[in-house]
Structure 1
Amino acid sequence: MSKTYTRADISKAVNGGADLVHDELGLGERDYDLLGLIVNAAMAVLDQPGTSLDDVIRDSYKEEPEEVRGWWDW
């Protein structure tokens, strides 16, 4: 029998994993921002498969997608 996870369980695990990587690797702000974007994207895909990165950014940040992408020179 497989275990069923709630959205809150998944969010806690994904955020915990991001924090673990950040803490163990001593990442800087830029890399931690990227981990946050990945967490936001994972949760968005959970809720709405096929969502775009720009949609994730619009829903998660006050900045426009072009500005957020610029944080990593994309």
Structure 2
Amino acid sequence: MHVSMLIKFEGVSFKYEGSESYAIRDVNLDIRRGDFLLIAGMSGSGKSTLLRMMNGLIPHFYRGEMVGRVLVDGM
């Protein structure tokens, strides 16, 4: 059975403009259609950054240094 990839993070790191440290570093993640995903963590652990990358706000509306790539539905 073929399960299609919905979201893929490949070696993704992001540092917000003006910040000295990375919000997320070297994230590799595959989310397939039908997967259940829970994002939890302490304040400042990168949850919002991860979601902003999934919906395209990063890098289009938040400035910073991004490494790697995020594919959503193959794009």
* TM tier relative to shorter chain: under 0.3
Bigger radius of gyration among the two: 1
TM-score, length of structure 2 as denominator length: 0.27
Q: Which has the higher helix share?
A: 1
Q: Which has the higher contact order (CA 8 A, sep 6+)?
A: 2
Is the strand fraction higher in 1 or 2? 2
